[in-house]
Amino acid sequence: MKEPFIVDAHMHTGASCMYYAEKPDAGRYLELMDRLSIKYAICSDMLSIMKGSRYGLEEAERIYDKSAGRIFYLGVFNPKAGTECLQALEKAAAKPGFVGLKIHPSLHQTAPESDAYEPAWRFVRDHDLTLLTHSWSVSSYNPLQAYSTPERFRHYADKYPGIRFVLGHAGGRGSGRAQAVKMANEYPHVYLDFAGDIFCFQYLETMLNSIPHDKLIFGSDYPMLDPRANLSRVLLSGIDEKTAGQVLRDNAFAAYKLDA
């Protein structure tokens, strides 16, 4: 295809409060996207993740507007500031470009099966949005990842079976990935994005042999990682054109119900 067609379904706006990463403006996003044939992006704001949605939504909205509708965005629900988050999210849900909600149990140190997440699941159900979560495997060097193992999301996946639910990072490595694969096979509305630093031999081919091809979504984790790191997994894999189209575009459109 001569025109950009890829959807990067896992980018970030805003400044990270934890470690150094570039803080791009709208022009930088679009320059990079055009160079890599990325037509659309879906972003969550780093400041929102750290402090709550009201802190980053305005910047995400500005970037969406400046991108002429190419850079969609997610709100963030922090269960420790639930009421405040929902007030900001209700306003955002009525605006174009807002396509879903992000949760991050590890950073917020809240069990994903906790009642504190009930408002987030109800919010995406009531507004017909998509829920993205950070997911990862148990880690000896980062014990907080235990809050985000995929199996812990079964409680709400069972309770809200119609919600489009994306396990970001596809459960990470090892046992987390195995749990994510199992959930993608068991739940019709569970998708996996493979954003992040999961570098192993034939990762993409292994995943496509393990789950339906309409469940795997390309994401980069930019600006923490260059999009080419995960884009190369697809373009160098040798998979057929139809499957590549699903991973790079079609599955994101379905999971996030994009109107573009």
Q: What does the block give as tokens for 229?
A: 């790191």
How far is Cα 156 from Cα 151, in angstroms, rounded to an integer? 11
pLDDT of residue 46: 86
DSSP summary character for residue 186: H
Q: Which pTM was predicted?
A: 0.96
| Residue owning tokens 């970037």 | 63
Q: Is residue 139 one of the residues assigned to a domain?
A: yes
Q: What does the block give as tokens for 101?
A: 């909600």
CB half-sphere exposure, 205, CA atoms < 13 A: 9
Of 152, 204, 199, 153, the residue nearest 172 (C-alpha) = 199
DSSP summary character for residue 143: G
Q: Is residue 160 one of the residues assigned to a domain?
A: yes
Q: Is residue 154 one of the residues assigned to a domain?
A: yes
Domain residues for the domain of 189 are 6-256
Q: Is residue 164 one of the residues assigned to a domain?
A: yes
The distance of Cα 134 from the centroid of its chain, to the nearest Å, equals: 7
pLDDT of residue 207: 97
In this structure, what CATH number is given to the domain that contains residue 26? 3.20.20.140
Q: Is residue 1 one of the residues assigned to a domain?
A: no
Task: Tally helices (H) and strands (E) across the chain.
Answer: 12, 8
How far is Cα 129 from Cα 164, in angstroms, rounded to an integer? 7
CB half-sphere exposure, 153, CA atoms < 13 A: 37
How many other CB atoms are there within 10 angstroms of residue 29's CB atom? 23
How far is Cα 150 from Cα 179, in angstroms, rounded to an integer? 6
Single-letter residue type at 77: F
How far is Cα 243 from Cα 260, in angstroms, rounded to an integer? 21
How far is Cα 181 from Cα 223, in angstroms, rounded to an integer? 26
DSSP summary character for residue 98: E
Please give the tally of structural domains in the chain: 1
The distance of Cα 187 from the centroid of its chain, to the nearest Å, equals: 18
Tell me the per-residue pLDDT of 201-259, one tens digit each, with 9 for 90 and over: 899 999 999 999 999 999 999 999 999 999 999 999 989 999 999 999 999 999 999 98
Per-residue confidence of the chain (260 residues) as pLDDT tens digits?
567 799 999 999 876 656 666 777 899 999 999 999 999 999 998 888 877 666 788 889 999 999 999 999 999 999 998 888 899 999 999 999 999 999 999 999 999 999 999 999 999 999 999 999 999 999 999 999 999 999 999 999 999 999 999 999 999 999 999 999 999 999 999 999 999 998 888 999 999 999 999 999 999 999 999 999 999 999 999 899 999 999 999 999 999 999 87
